[in-house]
Amino acid sequence: MTTQSNATTSRPGGATAPEAGPTSTGSKATRALGILALAAVALLVLLGLWWTPADVIQNESVRILYVHVPAATLAYLGCFLTSLGSLMYLWKKSRWWELVGYAAAEIAAIFTAVTLVTGMLWGRPTWGVFWVWDARLTSTAMLMLLLLGYLAVRRLPADYHVRAQRASIIGLLLVPNVIIVRQSVQWWRTLHQEASLFADGPGATIEGIMLFTLVFGFVTFQLIFAWLLVHRFRLAWLEEQVAGQGLTAAIAERRAEGRSASGAAPAPIAPPPAVPSELVHRASTTGPEVAS
């Protein structure tokens, strides 16, 4: 039962943070959500590790599925939100949706990593190896790589519009890519060996308290997902504000420099053309953005 202590020690960060006052990404609503999520996690730990019996076939390893399956589902939900947010940005130029998409992509990457790790830890006692070229495992790994590509572009050191525009095209193609990759991997595997061991779904044969625990796992992970999404969205918003501020300050500095240089003796450097074209470009695209 070391997990319980871990659960309770790692959680307070999430719960105490909103109490820290106005300078945080927390608010009353997220505090309530956070407390709810924490309570759900505590209950899920009790249910999953203690109150539920071991499975007849899978034995104790079934307990991993109570966190594995919800994490996988929410990873896909995150991808869907990323595509939706990207679509709304490309279509309506909605900055709000773009940030939702970015936040969802990062959380989806975390949940995908959780899915992969728990999948491997489930596979070791079940199949005897950490990794098999199972259709689901493989397509989840590809999903992770696709998400990392999106995040790499979204985090480029460039002007907001450049990042958002390019990342949104990748984000929009995320769901079609996931579908095509899943389809191809599934055909690839089913042609060469019998259907995967997961074939009829891990949740297909369970009932009673075990089914309840799995459903409760979904609820818990949805609460965690919602809490993370709100906080990550606000953090993304703050990041863009701060980046904008830094840029305005830098532009003001350059202007002051240029003025003092031209006011003094004939300067050896010609200020305006010497500025790299990239900087001029950034300034021209962010100017109105910062002012609004």
User: Is residue 226 a contact point for another protein (CB under 8 A)?
Assistant: no
Q: Which of 73, 94, 184, 222 binds another protein (CB under 8 A)?
A: 184
Q: Which of 84, 87, 148, 219 binds another protein (CB under 8 A)?
A: 148
Q: How far is 258 from 262, CA to CA, in rounded Å? A: 6
Q: How far is 64 from 48, CA to CA, in rounded Å? A: 8
Q: How far is 67 from 73, CA to CA, in rounded Å? A: 10
CB 256 → another protein: shortest distance, Å?
21
C-alpha Rg value of the chain to the nearest Å: 24
User: Is residue 181 a contact point for another protein (CB under 8 A)?
Assistant: yes
CB 81 → another protein: shortest distance, Å?
17
Closer Cβ to another protein, 264 or 277, answer by number = 277
How many CB atoms sit inside 10 A of residue 130's CB? 13
Q: For another protein, which stretch binds (CB under 8 A), given 6-14, 77-85, 199-207, 254-262?
A: 6-14
* Span 67-96, contacts to another protein by CB under 8 A: 67-68, 71, 90
* Span 126-145, contacts to another protein by CB under 8 A: 142, 145
Closer Cβ to another protein, 8 or 260, answer by number = 8
Q: Which of 149, 203, 258, 271 binds another protein (CB under 8 A)?
A: 149
Q: Which of 53, 96, 176, 250 binds another protein (CB under 8 A)?
A: 176
Q: Which of 195, 211, 238, 279 binds another protein (CB under 8 A)?
A: 238
- Please work out the total of residues on this chain that contact another protein, with binding judged by CB under 8 A: 81
Q: Which of 31, 95, 161, 254 binds another protein (CB under 8 A)?
A: 161
Closer Cβ to another protein, 257 or 287, answer by number = 287
Q: Whole-angstrom distance between the N-terminal and C-terminal Cα of the chain?
A: 54
Residue 181 near residue 139 (C-beta atoms within 8 A): yes
Cα 256 to Cα 92, 250, 261, 271: the distances in Å are: 37, 10, 8, 11
